[in-house]
Amino acid sequence: MALESTERTHVDLGAEFTARRARLHAIAARTLGSPWHADDAVQETWLRLERADRAGIENLDAWLTTVVSRVCIDMLRQRAARRDEADADAMESLAASDEAGPAEAALRADDLALALQVVLDELGPLERLALVLHDAFALPYDEVALIVERTPTAARQLASRARARLRAVDVATVRERQGAAIDAFLRAAREGEFGDLLQLLDPDIELRSDDGAVALASSGAEHGAPLLEHRLRGADAVARVFAGRARLAEAVVVEGIPAAAYIAGGGDARAVYLVTMRGDRIIRIDVRTDVPDTPYAAQISR
């Protein structure tokens, strides 16, 4: 009887976690800049939830947000190029009038993901997280402070420093340049222009595809689907995957960022191609088919 109760509790906990997975993934992806690293962060969050005393968790949403955020901080701090953010008193203070009016806030919400993509490597772990939690997910600074383990004033300063860098990004120009690059990429792929593809790809580009994308591409190979593998690196290898093989892909916008998608006959996105650029070159393409379980489904527009 006790065993049945334990199994039922675990199933209920799994259902509660699944209902919150998309939001946790979105927080992690925005903070870490990679859907694959976000997968790892969400999985670690689930493992910690399994080990936790459920009776001691009063607010599951807050608990999960805190845990996934701290997992992201740990992951960022393990990366080689880490900036020291230990002393909040050493941060330069920005104007107290940092809070934006409604019009600016709406613009930020629309452009935040793309601007973050441009400056992500310039931000420290706590700057990234404070900005994402406050600006993208509307957490008040009192709650952000608990997660980043700083005072509310220091949490505000962290977000302010990150926001100052975002404001230096000409989002309209970046969006236009990235959209043009994706259009050129799809055109070169459809026409089999190998040389043009190489010109668009960074020499060290990485292509990563999930299991569903690899299976989908394999089943559609005879109809011109890209020859996807789970992981490839290098412009030559990636160009060979797409050359002459992107007839069913079209340009879309995902969370304000130009991207591409494989659109099925019914008009649904079966896979999204998330594109990361530096300058005028594509440095990473992430192919995901878990569209219904992520924010991508609601955020795709053409």
Q: Which pLDDT tens digit goes with each residue over 25-46?
A: 999 999 999 999 999 999 999 9
Using an 8 Å Cβ cutoff, are 111 and 174 in contact? no
Stretch 144-153: mean pLDDT, rounded? 96
10 Å Cβ neighbour count for 133? 25
CATH node for 2-167: 1.20.140
Q: How far is CA 30 from CA 12, 36, 94, 120, 248, in A?
A: 28, 12, 23, 9, 28
pTM, two decimals, is 0.79
The CATH architecture to which 171-301 belongs is: Roll (3.10)
What value does the mean pLDDT take over residues 5-31? Answer: 82
Of the listed ranges 111-125, 142-156, 227-241, the one predicted with least confidence: 111-125
Nearest to 24 by CA among 10, 38, 14: 38
| Domain ranges (residues) in the chain | 2-167, 171-301
Distance CA 127, CA 84 (A): 11
> Residue 182 belongs to what H/E stretch?
helix 171-191
Determine the average pLDDT of the residues in 143-165.
Answer: 95
Rounded CA-CA distance 158/116 in Å is: 14
Q: What pLDDT score was predicted for residue 10?
A: 59
Whole-number percent of the chain with pLDDT over 70: 81
| pLDDT value at residue 188 | 96
Across 45-53, average pLDDT: 94
| Segment (H or E) for 287 | strand 281-288
The lowest-confidence range among 36-40, 92-96, 99-103, 207-211 is: 92-96
Q: What does the pLDDT read at residue 11? A: 59
